[in-house]
Amino acid sequence: MTYTHSHTQRNREMAAAEEASKFSEEANAYPMTGGDGPNSYAKNSTLQRGAGDAAKELLNEAIAEKLDIDILSSSNTFHIADLGCSVGPNTFFAVENIIEAVKFKFQSQGLNSQIPEFQVFFNDHTQNDFNMLFRSLPQNRQYYAAGVPGSFYGRLFPIASIHFFHSSYALQWLSRVPKEVVYKNSPAWNKGRIHYSNSTDEVVRAYEAQHAEDMECFLNARAQEIADGGVTVLLIPGRPNGTPHSHPVGNVSFQLIGSCLMDMARKGVVSEEKVDAFNIPVYAMSPQELEAAVEGNGHFSLEQMETLPHVSTHGTVSVTQLVVSHLRAALEGHITQQFGEEIVDELFESYLKKLEEQPSILATGTAIIFLVVLKRKAN
């Protein structure tokens, strides 16, 4: 495996990735709710699982058509990294699908005797509940498992060491809240709101700029870490091309959470200053924005981009309750850090009530999930 960037270019990329890693770890980045309790991510991530299931066939095709298995000529271990893995079980299903597809590719080419061993790296923020992740690892797994803590906006692995990168429902999380939106003297101060989707153009531009910076860091880091011939597959929740940021694409949930917090501020349950200083670091990118980021970065070819079919939500709970429980699993860490855990129950009860009063909100969104396949360009 070779890596032949020029010395200057490589130093520039390493500096960018190191800078990203520095500010990412300084930021208040809180993972999904850990453990296996009723409000945990492990018990409230069926929507994400549905997207993974919908992507399985496309994932198999990407491996069958795009992965170069001769990259293992100097190694008999195939390295997989799942970025933003959280605590399971979804990451385990994804990894199993990847391994089965890689094994099938070897078998279909008559290379049964050359099927490699598999090493899987599970990555998430340092505060992720890795104990829960490791406790729930499948007993009959066909891979060696390791945890890699740290922000995926910086370097995580040695040069040219990973054969397959996977990330699902993670790249919508920015490395940090754009600093301009919490400064009182900034034109982008987001007073009384917790997201850009119902805010001013200045706030939207601050989020756009943070997203562009983060994607450049993400792609630079992966460009160094991926082996020649390796593949990166990303599942990204976002918005359709041409859809304005103010259009409901799932971000309406953040607007409602913000209005609930302002209601609580008016009642004196929380301070208005704390609400003004609280913003959610989530950005709904479009396929067009992802394409522009890849083209601007220059290190990857965009092999495939597909919008997944809408995920059906089967189960015993209502869609409204499902949305509330999933959002709580995602946001509880952020909210607790800012306001304390004593407000969480009241906040999400209020949010549920608002959703039940306006059920049409959930039907008007235009959120999409799109799958992206990238390959490192040859040097």
- Rounded distance between C-alpha atoms, residue 120 and residue 166, angstroms: 11
Contact residues for 45 (Cβ-Cβ < 8 A; gap 6+): 32, 86, 89, 90, 326, 329
| The pair of three-digit structure tokens given for residue 91, joined into one six-digit string | 């990451």
Is 26 domain-assigned? Answer: no
**CATH code (residue 125):** 3.40.50.150
- What's phi and psi for 111, nearest 5 deg? -115, 40
Residue 225: which domain range? 2-6+39-376
Q: Tell me, what's the pLDDT at 358?
A: 81
Is 14 domain-assigned? Answer: no
pLDDT digits (tens, 9 = 90+) for 190-245: 999 999 988 999 999 999 999 999 999 999 999 999 998 899 999 999 999 988 77
CA dihedral of residues 170, 189, 244, 219 (deg, nearest 10): -40
**Helix/strand/coil percentages in the chain, nearest 5:** 45, 15, 40
Q: In 10 A of CB 107, how many CB atoms?
A: 12
Looking at residue 127, its amino acid is: Q
What is the domain count for the chain? 1
Is 145 domain-assigned? Answer: yes
Count of CA atoms in the C-beta half-sphere (13 A) of 48: 30
Is 303 domain-assigned? Answer: yes
Is 129 domain-assigned? Answer: yes
Is 158 domain-assigned? Answer: yes
What mean pLDDT is reported for the chain? 86
Is 346 domain-assigned? Answer: yes
Q: Report the helix count and the strand count for the chain, using DSSP H and E.
A: 11, 7
Query: What is the SS3 assignment for 237?
Result: strand
Q: Is the pLDDT of residue 313 over 50?
A: yes
Q: Tell me, what's the pLDDT at 33?
A: 79
Q: Which of the two residues, 70 and 353, has the higher pLDDT score?
A: 353
Looking at residue 154, its amino acid is: G
Is 21 domain-assigned? Answer: no
